[in-house]
Amino acid sequence: MVRRAARPLSFERFPGALSRLMQQRDLSYRQLAYKTRLSAGYLNHLTKGRRPVPADPVICTIATALHVDPDYFIEYRLRQVLDVLEGSARLTDALYGILLLQAPISDEMRAALEQPAREESAAQTAAQTEQAAQPPTGKGS
């Protein structure tokens, strides 16, 4: 079995990962637009989260221009996993058993599965706190 060298992978959502790669490579929207043949405005919307995560072929184009593999982006990896799960009912059921039925799993796997949930919960709490701190808008007056 041939082992591949570890590749960098992002755990950030697409807008943040794209923005960070552009900053690391000191690329402007126009420069990336030139390399990808996508519009600078579209790329700006992607980094701000105002457009949905693009389809895999567009992610591949962006990844190539930024000198990373497409699976650098977590959304690309999630789609690959979904494709595998859609093709295997047994694997889907096994994963369902682990995640939802609390089948026994290793401590390492449990920590990996709980980490995103903790991060999401913290983000939701921060958003609720920020919303509660804002004064009412007084639209009815």
Residue extents of the structural domains in the chain:
14-76
pTM for this predicted structure = 0.66
- Tell me the C-alpha distance between 112 and 25, whole Å: 30
Asked if 10 and 72 touch (Cβ cutoff 8 Å), the reply is yes
Domain 14-76 has CATH 1.10.10.10: no
- pLDDT, position 93: 82
pLDDT in tens, 18-45: 999 999 999 999 999 999 999 999 999 9
